[in-house]
Amino acid sequence: MSKGREFYERVLKSPKFVVAPMVDQSELPWRLLSRRHGAQLCFSPMYSANTFVHDHTYRNKVVQDLSSTEDHPLIVQFCSNSAENFLEASKLVEGLCEGVDLNLGCPQHIAKRGHFGAYLQEDWDLIIEIISTTKQHIGIGVTAKIRVFNEIDKTVKYAQMLETAGCDIITVHGRTREQKGPNTGLASWDHIKAVKDNVDIPVFANGNIQYYCDIMRCMETTGVDGVMVAEGNLTNPMIFQGI
């Protein structure tokens, strides 16, 4: 059994219904509400690793959000373009969660300006450094949430690079970096299925989920281990129960 598979099954208890990291949305009250209605794993909102490490007030606010004993299993998501900052932030939350996630999917202008999120897509050496360094020095899981490239083959190679670097789980949002705002369009489940078929670690799918039937159809179509839901969860926190 791979370390990623062991983390998914033994630590996270094989979750299939996952609440996405959503800034100003997936804080503790929403996560607890979602768990009461079937969510099996929650991600925190995206936090800045650099600010978390260096700003005491910001860190205290985040730690307070991670303080509930009811809120597990939990993965804390950080954005970062520094292996040092991501590792230090991960160490500071190590006793509060089951894993940390590197945000490689944020497509917003602030991410472009700060060189994080989906704007690290071309900087594979930096991504490898962040993931591998952190994986070597902490005792919790390390995951990543990505967006896809236009080309399926390049997306698969990207995911394989993350696996080799030490990722325990990959979440694939089946949209490109350019698919946002009025250009959002549909997520490509073909990309997600190709990743799932070509890595050995667990894969979560993200995109095109509005109803419970979408979750079931996505799992059947792509073969993924779990489905991460964002807007569909906000529209209906009981989505995982099919209510």
Nearest-CA neighbor of 99 among 171, 172, 169? Answer: 169
* 199 assigned to some structural domain: yes
- For residues 141 and 78, give the distance between their C-alpha atoms in angstroms, rounded to a whole number: 13
* 186 assigned to some structural domain: yes
* 243 assigned to some structural domain: no
CATH number at residue 205: 3.20.20.70
* 123 assigned to some structural domain: yes
The whole-number pLDDT of residue 197 equals: 98
* 29 assigned to some structural domain: yes
Q: Does the pLDDT value for residue 2 go beyond 90?
A: no
* 225 assigned to some structural domain: yes
* 66 assigned to some structural domain: yes
* 241 assigned to some structural domain: no
Catalytic residues: 106
Reported as a single tens digit per residue, the pLDDT across 46-58 is 999 999 999 999 9
How many distinct structural domains can be found in the chain?
1
Helix crossing, 212-222 with 189-198: angle to 10°?
A: 50
* pLDDT confidence tier of residue 1, bands split at 50, 70 and 90: confident
How far is C-alpha 226 from the chain's CA centre?
Answer: 12
- For residues 58 and 39, give the distance between their C-alpha atoms in angstroms, rounded to a whole number: 27
Reported as a single tens digit per residue, the pLDDT across 55-89 is 999 999 999 999 999 999 999 999 999 999 999 99
- Residue ranges of E strands in 14-82: 17-19, 41-48, 74-79
Helix (H) or strand (E) holding 126: helix 124-137
Answer yes or no: are the C-beta atoms of 200 and 2 closer than 8 Å.
yes
Its domain, for residue 73, covers: 3-235
Reported as a single tens digit per residue, the pLDDT across 148-200 is 999 999 999 999 999 999 999 999 999 999 988 888 889 999 999 999 999 99
* pLDDT confidence tier of residue 109, bands split at 50, 70 and 90: confident
The residue-averaged pLDDT of 198-215 equals 97
